[in-house]
Structure formats: C-alpha cells, structure tokens
Amino acid sequence: MDKYKIAETETFSKKINTNKFNHLYNKIVMDVYPILRNNPYYGINIKKLKGKFKEIYRFRIGDFRIFYKIDENESIVFIMNIENRQDAYK
C-alpha cells in the first residue's frame, strides 16, 4: 500500500508536456512515482536541497532533475518542477 499520494503542480504539468521533457513522463510515472509513493525521503537518486530551498527534494533521472516538496500532514508529494541538470541549479 502506498504511503504517499502524488500531486503534480501546474508548473510541472506544463513543462512535462513540452517537447523537451514529454519523452520522460512514462518513465517518471512507471519508475519514479512508485519510489516516491513508498518513501520520498530516501533513495539513491534522492537528495534534500540546502539553504533557502531546504524544504525541497530532488530526484535525479539521468541528466534531468525533478523537484518536489512533501506535505507530511496530508501524506502528499507535490511534484513542482523538472529541469535539465545544466539549468537546474542556476
């Protein structure tokens, strides 16, 4: 049974439907979401950001990064954004 629900923000939904990212959506749904539903805090591709972004986590998928926030009270993982690695930390 899944411990967390997944919610995609409007920003993420718009970006994932662009030509740059749409090829990743199936992989995200099939491979990433099951991991995040079970435990969004720990994993080989999961890292908590630092500084003013300390509430945000990132999930690495090759050259791309998914950024998400966790609402522990509601048990929801909010998928906020997706970026290419070279653009993600600017």
pLDDT, tens only, 64-78: 999 999 999 999 999
Whole-angstrom Cα distance, residue 24 to residue 77? 19
- Are 56 and 80 a contacting pair, CB within 8 Å? yes
The Cα-based distances of 47 to 5, 13, 16, 17, 22 in angstroms read 19, 22, 21, 25, 23
Give pTM, 2 decimals.
0.92
Question: How does residue 34 score in pLDDT terms, banded at 50, 70 and 90?
Answer: very high
- pLDDT cut 70: percent of the chain above it: 98
Which residue is it, tokens 């048990």?
75
